[in-house]
Amino acid sequence: MRIRQMIAEDIPAVAQIEKECFSQPWSEQGFLDGMKDAIFFVAEDPQIVGYIGMYRMPPEGEITNVAVTPKMRKKGCGRELLLRMQQWADEHGIDRIVLEVRSGNEPAIHLYRTCGFEKIGVRKNFYQFPREDADIMEWKRLC
């Protein structure tokens, strides 16, 4: 598996993964617009099988989405994407990363915890379709 920075030509494949994984997916235009203010990485094996995005607001970042195709889950793809984003954050002066995750999404919460994220709060009724709370999680650079 190879992790690399996303380019505009990757958007159709990334948008397809987004549709498979989320009840309210970003559009292709949303990804194109997002590339102006966010950094995205994709995982290839050899096709694009996952992606991660983060808005950059040094010294902070906010994860937009993490998604992996169902056939590649539990194979380290999500972890590799998160670790690459944390490495990029370290290299670009980002000391803190936050994200929201559905409170009932135990596999994702476990993944984030293994990558050093901690729960810092809850946003009640944050998600729709279905309505659900969001756990707010945070990662801080150690030094």
Q: At what angle do helices 77-91 and 106-114 cross, to 10 degrees?
A: 40
Tell me which of 18, 51, 80, 112 is the catalytic residue.
112
**Residue 129: its pLDDT value, please?**
84
Structural domain total, the chain: 1
Burial class (CB in 10 A: 0-12, 13-18, 19+), 124: exposed
Range of the domain at 38: 2-140
Number of H-type helices and E-type strands within the chain: 4, 7
Binned at pLDDT 50, 70 and 90, residue 141 comes out as confident
**Residue 29: its pLDDT value, please?**
96
Tell me which of 18, 51, 80, 100 is the catalytic residue.
100
Using one digit for the tens of pLDDT, what is the confidence trace for 44-57? 999 999 999 999 99
- Coil/strand/helix, residue 117: coil
CATH number of the structural domain spanning residue 130: 3.40.630.30
pLDDT at 143 over 80: no
Distance of CA 18 to the CA centre of its chain: 11
Give catalytic status of residue 100 as yes or no: yes
Using one digit for the tens of pLDDT, what is the confidence trace for 88-139? 999 999 999 999 999 999 999 999 999 999 999 999 999 988 899 999 999 9
